[in-house]
Amino acid sequence: MAYNVRHMSDNVFRNLPSVDRVLSHALVAELSVSREVKVSLCREAITFARDVAREGTELSLEDIVTRVREKADMLMHVGLVRVINATGVILHTNLGRSPLSKDALSAVQQSSVGYTDLEMNLEDGKRGSRYSHVENLLKQITGAEAAIVVNNNASALLLALASVAQNKEVIVSRGESVEIGGRFRIPDVMRASGALLKEIGTTNRTYVSDYEEAISDNTAAFLKVHASNFTQAGFTSSVKVEELLPLANSRGVFLMNDIGSGCLVDTAKYGLVSEPTVQESVGAGVSLTLFSGDKLLGGPQAGIAVGTKKTIDQLKSNPISRAVRIDKMDLAALVATLRHYLEDEFEEKIPVWQMVSASTDELRLRAEKWLESVPKAEIVAGESTIGGGSLPGQTLPTYTLAIAESNAQGGLDHIASRMRQASPPVIGRIDDGRFLLDPRSVLPEEDNDVVQALARV
């Protein structure tokens, strides 16, 4: 908004309109927000006018009214906007990671339109547990004795540490004392939980003997953290949970395994390196395995802990569990997502696995269909990534629609901006002098939206 700059007179502050005067202006009175909101916006605009007056800019009544209307319009348009992810990054953190399956979306709707049996046992009419809706599924799929679900994996780790290692040492390899993202760092969550971090080994090499030598009378647990968003190469050595378990069991030390991505299938089947699976961790005998619901599992944001009944009961009885508990809509979506694994239909039903398993022939055909609306573009071979802190460095072959710099009127940034302004917005990426749109991370039912956006741009 541009303001009229006037010479500030001595009585400029006295000339500022009152709240009632701004409020009674016809353009403010017609706003569709409540009177309380209008009053708040008027006060904010007058305060702003007073602040800029000190700097020599005098705002008229019309200027102040315009600011009120702009702020009201911003409030009315606050909210999440559906976008089409054509970046080729399947689990794009900035775009919300996993899209939900149609069954999961239906479950969310059903859980929201009325009341649910969230914490009621329908057989006896007594209070039940929200965990009962998902625990049996997790036990069946992972082989664990028990399970608990909270709002995200950071919460699951915090809850676990606070439950089994309050004021006690937790031994972690320096190579696994990592920052996972959003400044979420293992040392920080240790302090928040009340556990005492004890680092061992070096950044690149840690041995079983390092764990053994670090055990003291105050040691409660070993924590293994899967480096899900970076890789180490070269002169490296780390300890697998299978190697660490005999030591943990013989010395009475709890073993906690944070595997991050929540993978339930063999990723090698899709030409990727093998990501640690939940079943492998449970099968090895780990007391507590932690993972996310919205990464390779392909469900809603959630933190899941599976393990022995004794351990899970400790987590359930900790007061923190109530503060980080999962809500009914995420719970409904998670249950629906897990059923896809139970029925062995995850490739057909879960979008993440539809994208991972898509063939290059299929992707090329879809990209060629997009090309019909942009004759100056071309189809080029490329690579998609998993993203979201899963399988770092791993890629899948793809075909992308590419617009070269020479064919981008206004430049590549302009093309990318125009695509973001489409309805719905289409998010691509710029790489090696071209604007790229990758069909692997686009749902097939979104293809027409991509074509329409390209035609307009």
The whole-model pTM stands at 0.87
Q: Inform me whether the pLDDT recorded for 5 exceeds 70.
A: no
- Sheet bearing 429-431, strands edge to edge: 89-91, 378-387, 390-404, 434-437, 429-431
Residue 6 pLDDT greater than 60, yes or no = no
pLDDT above 80 (res 249): yes
List the structure tokens of 177. Answer: 């004392």
Secondary structure of 317-349 as H, E, C letters: HCCHHHHCECCHHHHHHHHHHHHHHHCCCHHHH
- Residue ranges per domain, the chain? 12-76, 84-92+352-456, 100-346
Classified by CATH at the fold level, domain 100-346 comes out as: Aspartate Aminotransferase; domain 2 (3.40.640)
First to last CA, the chain: 27
What average pLDDT does range 18-26 have in this prediction? 95
For the cut 80, the answer to whether the pLDDT of residue 146 exceeds it is: yes
Banded pLDDT at 238 (limits 50, 70, 90): confident
Cα–Cα distances in Å, from 144 out to 148, 210, 243, 259, 335?
11, 29, 20, 15, 16
Distance CA 330, CA 143 (A): 23
Per-residue pLDDT for 270 more than 80? yes
Residue 354 has pLDDT above 70, yes or no: yes
Round to whole Å and give the CA distance between 316 and 160.
Answer: 10
| Pair 261, 388: CB distance under 8 Å | yes
Q: Establish how many alpha carbons lie within 13 A of residue 257's alpha carbon, considering only the half-sphere containing its beta carbon.
A: 28
**From CA 387, how far away is CA 296, in angstroms rounded?**
10
Question: pLDDT tens across 275-321, in order?
Answer: 999 999 999 999 999 999 999 999 999 999 999 999 999 999 999 99
> What would the mean pLDDT of 407-431 be, rounded to a whole number?
92
CA distance 68 to 73: 9
Residue range 162-190, pLDDT digits in tens: 999 999 999 999 988 877 666 678 888 88
Question: Model confidence at 75, in pLDDT bands (50, 70, 90)?
Answer: very high
Quick: pLDDT tens for 388-402: 878 888 899 999 999
Residue 144, pLDDT above cutoff 70: yes
- pLDDT of 230: 61
Q: What is the mean pLDDT of residues 121-127?
A: 91
Look at residue 182 in the predicted model and tell me its pLDDT.
Answer: 61
- Output the average pLDDT for the chain: 92
Tell me how many degrees the CA angle 441-280-207 measures, rounded to the nearest 5. 105
Quick one: pLDDT at residue 418? 94
The confidence score (pLDDT) of residue 376 equals: 86
Question: How high is the pLDDT of residue 9?
Answer: 54
Q: Flag whether pLDDT at 155 surpasses 60.
A: yes
Contact between residue 444 and residue 415 where contact means Cβ atoms under 8 Å apart = no
Question: CA 212, CA 22: separation in Å to the nearest integer?
Answer: 72
pLDDT in the model for residue 321: 96
So what's the pLDDT on residue 1? Answer: 58
- State residue 159's pLDDT score: 97
* Whole-angstrom distance, CA of residue 356 vs CA of residue 368: 20
Q: Please determine, for residue 328, whether its predicted confidence score (pLDDT) is greater than 50.
A: yes
| Residue-level pLDDT at 11 | 66
Average pLDDT on 20-44 reads 95
Please tell me the number of Cα atoms within 13 Å of 34 on its side-chain side: 3
- Residues 127 and 120: beta-carbon distance below 8 Å: yes
**Between residues 158 and 375, the one the model is more confident about:** 158
pLDDT score for 180: 67
Binning pLDDT at 50, 70 and 90, where does residue 57 land?
confident
* Topology (CATH) of 84-92+352-456: Aspartate Aminotransferase, domain 1 (3.90.1150)
3-state secondary structure 420-447: HCCCCCEECEEECCEEEECHHHCCHHHH
Instruction: Note the pLDDT of residue 323.
Output: 95
Helix (H) and strand (E) counts in the chain: 20, 16
- Which H or E run contains 97? none
Q: Give the mean model confidence (pLDDT) for residues 230-237.
A: 72
The per-residue pLDDT for 79 is 83
pLDDT confidence of 457, banded at 50, 70, 90?
confident
User: Strand (E) positions, 52-94?
Assistant: 84-85, 89-91
